[in-house]
């Protein structure tokens, strides 16, 4: 009976460790990233709503004109 | 996204366009932009094709990771910022301003 909490704690730790490891890797380097610094950014065409119409935006619209920050975020109405 | 808005003038002065991308609908993104006062486009990757192509789709969230790519005028990736690091745009602002000085 007394061994059970220990066992549960060990299991919990074992399950959490990979999560912690994955998280720290994501913070530090870009080893988990498909695209690396120096790669050509894939072309995209996406839309946004300006209040009246849906507007197209292509990455290539900015080639030779501007740098582009593409900021992926998880969902609207969340922080960050 | 708010942090980028706060630095938007500096980024624009350094020839840099900011584009937010999420898998929300264009209308949800417009409402979000209005709510937080963002004036740059928040693009809708409905279905997640671009999110997957950029390798930032996370199964667990069924959405993108919080990631910034700084892409140069030649279309090459200059900087990447992941997760918590991506919320602070200071490094990107610095990189853009540095690049401008080097021209």
Which residues from B are below 8 Å from A18, CB to CB? none
- Report pLDDT digits (tens) over A7-56: 777 777 777 666 555 544 444 445 678 999 999 999 999 999 999 999 99
CA distance, residue A3 to nearest chain B CA (Å): 33
Res. B72: pLDDT tops 70 = yes
Tell me what the mean pLDDT of segment A52-77 comes to. 95
CATH of the domain at B18: 3.40.30.10
pLDDT at residue A45, rounded to an integer: 98
- How many residues belong to chain A? 80
Q: Is the pTM of this model over 0.95?
A: no
The residue extents of the domains of chain A are 3-62
Structural domain includes residue B102: no
| Of residues A48, A57, A74, nearest to B64 (C-beta) | A74
| CA distances in angstroms from B81 to A28, A76, B26, B76, listed in the order given | 10, 19, 24, 15
**Cα(B91)–Cα(B14) distance, rounded to whole angstroms?**
13
> Does residue B98 sit in helix, strand or coil?
helix
Interface probe, candidates A26, A37, A44, A76, chain B, greatest B C-beta count within 10 A = A76
Interface probe, candidates B5, B25, B75, chain A, greatest A C-beta count within 10 A = B75
Tell me what the mean pLDDT of segment B77-87 comes to. 87
Query: Domain of B24?
Result: 2-97
Partner-chain contact A59 B15, CB within 8 Å: no
Structural domain includes residue B17: yes
pLDDT at residue A23, rounded to an integer: 47
Domain count, chain B: 1
Structural domain includes residue B103: no
Q: Tell me the CB-side half-sphere exposure of residue B21, using CA atoms within 13 A.
A: 33
CB of A25 within 8 Å of any CB in chain B? Answer: no
Name A16's Cβ contacts closer than 8 Å, sequence gap at least 6: none
| Of residues A38, A51, A76, nearest to B76 (C-beta) | A38
Closest-CA residue of B relative to A62 is B73
**Cα(B3)–Cα(B91) distance, rounded to whole angstroms?**
12
Partner-chain contact B77 A37, CB within 8 Å: yes
The DSSP call for residue B85 is G
- Report pLDDT digits (tens) over B7-45: 999 999 999 999 999 999 999 999 999 999 999 999 999
Closest-CA residue of A relative to B53 is A42
């Amino acid at each position: 009976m007394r061994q059970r909490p220990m066992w549960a704690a060990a299991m919990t730790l074992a399950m959490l460790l990979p999560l912690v490891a994955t998280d720290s890797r994501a913070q530090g380097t870009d080893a988990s990233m498909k695209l690396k610094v120096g790669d050509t950014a894939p072309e995209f065409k996406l839309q946004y709503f300006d209040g009246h119409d849906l507007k197209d935006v292509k990455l290539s619209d900015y080639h030779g004109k501007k740098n582009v920050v593409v900021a992926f975020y998880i969902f609207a109405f969340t922080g960050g | 996204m708010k942090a980028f808005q706060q630095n938007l003038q500096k980024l624009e002065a350094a020839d840099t366009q900011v584009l937010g991308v999420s898998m929300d609908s264009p209308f949800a993104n417009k409402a979000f932009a209005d709510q937080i006062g963002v004036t740059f486009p928040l693009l809708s990757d409905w279905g997640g094709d671009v999110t997957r192509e950029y390798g930032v789709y996370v199964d667990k969230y069924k959405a993108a990771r919080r990631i910034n790519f700084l892409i140069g005028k030649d279309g090459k990736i200059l900087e990447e910022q992941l997760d918590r690091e991506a919320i602070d745009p200071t490094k990107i602002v610095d990189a853009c301003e540095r690049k401008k000085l080097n021209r």
